[in-house]
Structure 1
C-alpha cells in the first residue's frame, strides 16, 4: 500500500502547486523569467534530495546511447512546457487549469502506446473522450471571459507535459528515481533560457515572488519525486490515475480558497468527468 500513500501525497502536492501557481503568476511581470527561478530552485531541491536519500553512494550512469536519447527528448519537452506554464497560470483560473491538465495524461497514454507498443483498449479511448468532454465544458461559455489563447496554450503545454511523462517510464528504468529527478530539473533550464533573458528580469521575479516561489518549487519537486517513487513500486496505470485526483482537489480548493466561483457547477461537473476519464485510462 506504500505506492497508494505516495500517489495520494503526490496528488495533494500537485493540487497545492496549481493553486499557488495562480497566486504567484498573477503578480509576475515575466512568466518565463519566473519559470527560470522556479526551475533553478527546484533543481537545487532535487539535488538536496539526491544527497539526503544517499543516492550519491550508489550513483551510476548508463553506458548505452538509448537512455540519453530518451532523457534528451524528455528534457526538451519539459523545457517547452516550462516556458509557457506560468503564462497559462497567469491568464486562467486554477480550477480551469487543473481540468485542462488532464489532457496531459491522455497524451501520455497514447504516446506510451506508440513508444512501448501498449494495447489500445475501448476503455482508454472512452477515457480520452471523457477528458475532451471536460475540456469542452470549461472552454465554451457564451458569457465567459475565458482567455481563448490561454486555453490553447494550456492544451499545448499539456501535450508537451504528456510526452515528457510518457518518457519518464524509460527514465526510471535506466536511471534511479533520485538521479532522474535531478537531471530532468537541470537540463530543461537550457531550453528555458534560450535564446536570451535579461538577468534584471530574473531578479525582479525573485523580488516579486520572494518565498512563495521556493514553496512552489517544493510542491512540484516533492510531488514529482514521490510520483516517481510510486511508479517504481507499482504500475504507472495504477499510480497516475490516483495522482490525477489532484484535479478535483484543485477545483474544490480553488472555489473555497481562491473564490473562483464563476460557472461553479460546470467546473465541478467537468472535474468529475475528467477524473472518470482518468480512471478509464487505467
Structure 2
C-alpha cells in the first residue's frame, strides 16, 4: 500500500510544481495568491478527513510545536511563491532538495545523531548538484531568486525540525489542513493581505490552474506523509526524490524549460543517488 501512496505523491508533486509555475505567471500579488491556494488546498484536505481515522493529541506540547512549525511554514510558503516566479519549475525542484542538507545538519547538532559518512557524502552531492546547475563560467547565476530559494529551504527545515513525527497524532487530512490553513491565516494577518486582493487573484487568474494546483498541493502532502507512515523511510525517501527527474522531464515538454537540460538531468540523478546514500 505504501508504494501506491509513493506513486500518488510523485504524480501530484510534479503536477503541483508545474501548475504552480503556470499560476504565478498571471498573479499580481504573490502573497494573495499564496493565501488563496493555501486556503483552497486546506479545504481539499478537510474534505478528505473521513478517509482517515479521526484522532487528536492530548499533550499540549504537540500543539505548541505545531503552532511554531506553522509560523515557519507560512514564511517558507510565501518565499516559495516568489522563488517560483523567478526560476524554472525544474530548477526549483533541485533547489528544494537543499532542505535535506539542512535537516542532516540539524540532526548532527540538535538530535545528536551519529556522524555517518554516507549521509555527509549524500549532503555534499546535493550541494554539488545545485552548484553544477547554477555555475556558469563568466556569469553570476546566483540571482536573488536562487538565494531566496536557499533561505526558504532553511526556514522549511526549521519547520520540519519542530514538526517531526507530529502528524501521527492527528487525523492525517486534518493535520495537513492545519499546516495549510493556519499559515494562510498568519500570512493574511501579518502580511496585511486584503480579502479583495485574494478575490482578485481568483477572478483574474486562471481558475482551472489555481484549483488544480491547490488540489495537487493537498494530495501531495497527504500522500507523502501516508507513504512514510506505511513504509520504511529508507525505501520511501529515495523513491520520493524521483520527483526531481520527473520535474525536469515534464518541465521540458510542459513548460518548454530547455535551458541547461543536460545539467538538470545530471543534477537530478545526483540527487537521487544522494538520497539513497542518506537514507540507506
TM-score by shorter chain over 0.5: yes
In the superposition, relative to structure 1, how do residues 237 and 80 fare at CA in structure 2: closer, same or farther (>3 Å)? farther
Matches within 5 A, 1:198-237: 198-207=194-203, 208-237=205-234
Residue 235 of structure 2 corresponds to 238
TM-aligned CA deviation for residue 219 of structure 1: 0.9
Cα deviation code 1:1-36 (max 9, x no counterpart): x21221122122111111111111122111111000
Q: Does 1:61 align with 2:79?
A: no
Cα deviation code 1:168-225 (max 9, x no counterpart): 4321233232332222122111332214113232122112131211110111111110
Residue in structure 2 matching 1:89, options 84, 88, 92: 84
RMSD: 2.0
Contact 2:45 2:176 in 1 (8 A): yes
* CA distance in 2 between partners of 1:76 and 1:45 (Å): 21
Cα deviation code 1:84-118 (max 9, x no counterpart): 11111111011111111111222234434555443
* CA distance in 1 between partners of 2:144 and 2:241 (Å): 24
Residue 70 of structure 1 corresponds to 65
Residue 179 of structure 2 corresponds to 184
* CA distance in 1 between partners of 2:176 and 2:263 (Å): 36
Matches within 5 A, 1:27-66: 27-51=26-50, 53=51, 55=53, 59-66=54-61
Cα deviation code 1:120-173 (max 9, x no counterpart): 311111111000001111222247685610001111112222333344432123
* CA distance in 2 between partners of 1:154 and 1:13 (Å): 21
* CA distance in 1 between partners of 2:20 and 2:242 (Å): 18
Q: Secondary structure at the match of 2:48?
A: helix
- How many residues align? The count is 277
Q: Which moved more, 1:215-224 or 1:164-173?
A: 164-173
Q: Does 1:131 align with 2:126?
A: yes
Q: TM-score, normalised by structure 2?
A: 0.91
* CA distance in 2 between partners of 1:143 and 1:225 (Å): 43
Residue in structure 2 matching 1:268, options 249, 262, 265: 265
Q: Which moved more, 1:256-265 or 1:29-38?
A: 256-265
Q: Does 1:101 align with 2:96?
A: yes
Q: Which moved more, 1:220-229 or 1:115-124?
A: 115-124
Q: Does 1:119 align with 2:89?
A: no
Q: Which moved more, 1:192-201 or 1:131-140?
A: 192-201
List gaps (5 residues or longer) in structure 1.
none
Contact 1:102 1:278 in 2 (8 A): no
Residue 12 of structure 1 corresponds to 11
In the superposition, relative to structure 1, how do residues 50 and 98 fare at CA in structure 2: closer, same or farther (>3 Å)? same
In the superposition, relative to structure 1, how do residues 270 and 164 fare at CA in structure 2: closer, same or farther (>3 Å)? same
TM-aligned CA deviation for residue 257 of structure 1: 1.8
Residue 170 of structure 1 corresponds to 165
List gaps (5 residues or longer) in structure 2.
none
In the superposition, relative to structure 1, how do residues 70 and 114 fare at CA in structure 2: closer, same or farther (>3 Å)? farther
Q: Secondary structure at the match of 2:63?
A: helix
Q: Secondary structure at the match of 1:281?
A: helix
TM-aligned CA deviation for residue 75 of structure 1: 0.9
Contact 1:67 1:170 in 2 (8 A): no
